[in-house]
């Protein structure tokens, strides 16, 4: 008798397939990244990210309320300032766009959703790097840590529940933890960008934040060829007190995500970045793929690889397609 094993039996009916399905995606596991632009009087479309906007402070509040109604787990805010300088001082200004927006959103939605903030200098610097520069033009790791510490405290003061250091400086988690504790923010957590690769898939994001960067971030973000250093970064972030680890981008790094998920004793997030979003939107707009199915397939794949939490620009829309529990 051949074949003697018939795996197709478990695929015969929708009920059978539902019974044996291993991976779920739930709204509570999704986090929406959002942009807020200083001085904007109406939401501005981001050309390379169809459906994503730079919010005004008012439209951000409406969108945050919608995110709560959709039942998603969190929102991650990025600020687009009107003025930039060498040290990114608008990031620490309590009235700077990101801190002002955090305060607004926290006042509007309270603890109904987890409020996260990008703790990095690149949106605020006139050179576009994630840290301050030394005289020779290189990114000065240790001088940058002092800036991250101040940014983190300003963001926690403004109401962020989780601080998201995304600059890949050595020691950033420890520096931020120490500063938060010293300021009395014992319950403010750190969502650490642990394994963040120097990726071409951040291109559309740099439009969204009007990045001033020329050159690249290869001296601080990781080489796409490497997984070992991702595990080293993960061990360091855990030792420094990270509350959640993150791998970024998601789809080209599912093996890294799996490896980090297997060694981590804290929850693990993955960031489905702007270029991953743009690719699917562009293909779908051309009629080349089924948009909704493709989106759900990517979210399922990222969850299957080991992500407890997925940052995705489709968070609210996808939540509308998913079971709540």
Active site residues: 196, 248
CB contact set of 30 (below 8 Å; sequence gap of 6+): 72, 73, 74, 299, 309, 310, 311, 312, 315, 318, 319
Q: Nearest approach, Cβ of 142 to ligand PBG (angstroms)?
A: 19
Q: Nearest approach, Cβ of 120 to ligand PBG (angstroms)?
A: 4
CB 36 within 8 A of CB 80: yes
SS3 content of the chain, % helix, strand, coil (to 5): 45, 15, 40
Binding mask 20-39 for ligand PBG (x = CB under 6 A): --------------------
Q: Does 197 bind ligand PBG (CB under 6 A)?
A: no
Phi/psi of residue 58, nearest 5 degrees: -75, -45
Q: Does 250 bind ligand PBG (CB under 6 A)?
A: no
Q: Does 120 bind ligand PBG (CB under 6 A)?
A: yes
Q: Which stretch binds ligand PBG (CB under 6 A): 55-63, 87-95, 200-208, 317-325?
A: 200-208
Number of residues counted as binding ligand PBG (CB under 6 A):
11
Q: Does 166 bind ligand PBG (CB under 6 A)?
A: yes
Among 274, 280, 303, 306, binds ligand PBG (CB under 6 A): 274
Long-range CB contacts for residues 67-70, cutoff 8 Å, separation at least 24: 67/32, 67/113, 67/315, 67/316, 68/109, 68/112, 68/113, 70/27, 70/315, 70/316, 70/319, 70/320
Q: Nearest approach, Cβ of 181 to ligand PBG (angstroms)?
A: 24
Token reading at 88 = 């990114």
> Which lies closer to ligand PBG via its Cβ, residue 206 or residue 258?
206
Q: Does 273 bind ligand PBG (CB under 6 A)?
A: yes
**Kindly report the CA angle at 165 between 34 and 275, in degrees rounded to 5?**
50
Q: What residues line the site for ligand PBG (CB under 6 A)?
A: 118, 120, 122, 130, 166, 202, 205-206, 217, 273-274
């Amino acid at each position: 008798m051949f074949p003697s094993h018939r795996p197709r039996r478990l695929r015969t009916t929708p009920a059978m397939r539902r019974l044996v399905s291993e991976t779920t995606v739930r709204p509570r596991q999704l986090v929406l990244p959002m942009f807020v632009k200083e001085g904007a009087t109406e939401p501005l479309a981001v050309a390379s990210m169809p459906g994503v906007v730079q919010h005004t402070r008012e439209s951000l509040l409406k969108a945050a309320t919608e995110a709560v109604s959709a039942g998603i787990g969190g929102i991650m805010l990025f600020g687009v300032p009107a003025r930039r300088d060498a040290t990114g001082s608008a990031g620490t200004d309590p009235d700077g766009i990101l801190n002002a927006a955090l305060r607004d959103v926290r006042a509007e939605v309270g603890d109904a959703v987890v409020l996260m903030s990008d703790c990095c200098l690149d949106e605020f610097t006139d050179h576009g790097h994630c840290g301050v520069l030394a005289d020779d033009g290189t990114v000065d790791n240790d001088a940058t840590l002092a800036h991250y510490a101040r940014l983190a405290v300003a963001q926690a003061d403004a109401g962020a529940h989780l601080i998201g250091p995304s600059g890949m400086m050595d020691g950033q988690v420890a520096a931020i933890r120490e500063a938060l504790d010293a300021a009395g923010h014992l319950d403010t957590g750190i969502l650490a960008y642990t394994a963040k690769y120097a990726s071409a898939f951040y291109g559309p994001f740099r439009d969204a934040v009007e990045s001033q960067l020329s050159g690249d971030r290869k001296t601080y973000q990781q080489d796409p060829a490497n997984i070992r250093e991702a595990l080293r970064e993960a061990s360091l972030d855990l030792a420094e007190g990270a509350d959640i680890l993150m791998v970024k981008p998601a789809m080209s790094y599912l093996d890294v995500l799996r490896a980090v998920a297997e060694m981590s004793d804290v929850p693990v997030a993955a960031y489905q970045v702007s270029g991953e979003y743009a690719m699917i939107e562009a293909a779908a707009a051309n009629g080349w793929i089924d948009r909704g199915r493709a989106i759900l397939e990517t979210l399922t794949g990222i969850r299957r690889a080991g992500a407890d939490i997925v940052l995705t620009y489709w968070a609210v829309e996808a939540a509308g397609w998913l079971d709540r529990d």
